[in-house]
Amino acid sequence: MSDTRTATYRQPGVVLTDHRFSVPLDHDEPDGERIELYGREVVAAEREGMPLPWLLYLQGGPGFGAHRLVGRPHWLGRALSEFRVLLLDQRGTGASTPANRQTLPLRGGPEEQADHLTHFRADSIVRDCEAIRPGLTGGAPWTVLGQSFGGFCTTTYLSTAPEGVATALFTGGLPALDGHADDVYRAAYPRVIRKNEAHYARYPQDVERARRIAAHLLEKPVELPGGHLLTAEAFQSLGILLGSGDGSHHLHFLLEDAFVRVPGGHALSDAFQEQVRGHLSYAANPLYALLHEAIYAQDDRPTAWAAERVRGEFPRFDAARALAGDEPVLFTGETIHPWQFTADPALRPLRETAGILAARTDWTPLYDPERLAANEVPAAAAVYHEDMYVDTADSLRTAAAIRGLRPWVTNEYEHDGVRAGGPRVLDRLLALARDRA
């Protein structure tokens, strides 16, 4: 592993250093092809020259680069009171070597692209972390804070390289250790229904607004700016907003002025279309769509478009059925479907690749239950009651399976509690891991 520091600069109250690391694409072939990782080091300005312990932040996803933060917002201020922080762009994301519709054709056809993408799951991400850790920390283990999918990666870390972890902190990210993707979505859809019910109870006027939009799109889908096809199903997928603390409010504001009068009637306004495009496009994070079900794959069972298949077991999500009666149109949640690889221009060239990944049957295990049962790393987890994205029951089973892990179950926050809760969530997790709470 090589580490190149490309720049050091300042923001209010912090000093930032850009790092670029060279790591093997396949860690089992260390002399083979290499890719680049990007990480942003953050230290409080008043502690710039101090020998501080490190905290590694693993972003949710999959497929998202670390947040671009300015100053000390959210949890970061609490972390900087005692740590030097690395915000890592996991492989394929952010400023790391990209994997998208523009670059994947360099690998060859869809089969080669799918093979390449098998190196972008939690197991490879953890091996990246272990490759770069010694050069940054001098060999010392670091505290790992995993948000959502970052928590899945942290569970893999404790399964495969616990010697690299001083303390493991999870926020909305304890995965089922052995659940298939079908199980994940079979548990998820009822939670999504409850989130819809809560949204419509808060904003009853949105029932008719959503029905009107869905009816308009069932009659004639709309091509958004940039070529994205907005269908009724795509409109329903805006329900992903309902899993965050303020998402219901943002969805309401989006729906309230959807139509504008035009010659001959009404049409979806340009402003509405542009906002929807921003929510639905995967141009900035295609790995989220490509690998979302693969993060649950650990055996010889294909994921086989699990979210799409399991949705059929819940007919209340059928917009046409809802409109034929007097039911509200239900929004869906954190799910990926085959039609998205037709509707989204950023995903269309990758449709066949996605299908190959969905049919794959040779996935390797991501977690080691025996090693987790013998865990000696101090660990704590925020488990958000009724989390729309990660099942609470699964999280609690996994919490019980990781020796010594202390869970904090709360309904004060949604899935984004580590952001919405400011310093409180991280402070609580650190106190639990240190037996101070």
The per-residue DSSP string of 257-276 comes to: T-EEEETTEEEE-HHHHHHH
Non-local (6+) Cβ contacts of 82 within 8 A are: 52, 53
Indicate which residue of 119, 199, 216, 415 is catalytic.
415
As a whole number, the mean pLDDT across the chain is 96
Catalytic residue among 96, 124, 148, 159: 148
Is pLDDT above 70 for 3? Answer: no
**Mean pLDDT, rounded, for 160-179:** 96
With beta carbons less than 8 A apart as the criterion, state whether 128 and 161 touch: no
How distant, in Å, are the alpha carbons of 199, 223, 365 from that of 121? 33, 33, 11
Give the pLDDT confidence of 264-280 residue by residue, as tens digits.
Answer: 889 999 999 999 999 99
Known catalytic membership, residue 362:
yes
C-alpha 156/C-alpha 150 separation (Å) is 10
110: tokens are 């869809």
**Token pair 């329900």: residue:** 239
The amino acid sitting at 434 is: R
* Per-residue pLDDT reduced to its tens digit, 92-110: 999 999 999 999 999 999 9
Question: Given pLDDT bands bounded at 50, 70 and 90, which one contains residue 427?
Answer: very high
What H or E segment, with its residue span, contains residue 117?
A: helix 110-117
Domain coordinates of the chain in residue numbers?
A: 2-178+367-433, 181-359
Q: Which CATH number fits domain 2-178+367-433: 3.40.50.1820, 3.30.420.40, 3.30.70.270, 2.60.40.60?
A: 3.40.50.1820
257 in catalytic set:
no
Q: What pLDDT was estimated at residue 264?
A: 87
Q: What's the rounded mean pLDDT across residues 223-235?
A: 96
**pLDDT 10s digits, 5-62:** 778 999 999 999 999 999 999 999 999 999 999 999 999 999 999 999 999 999 999 9
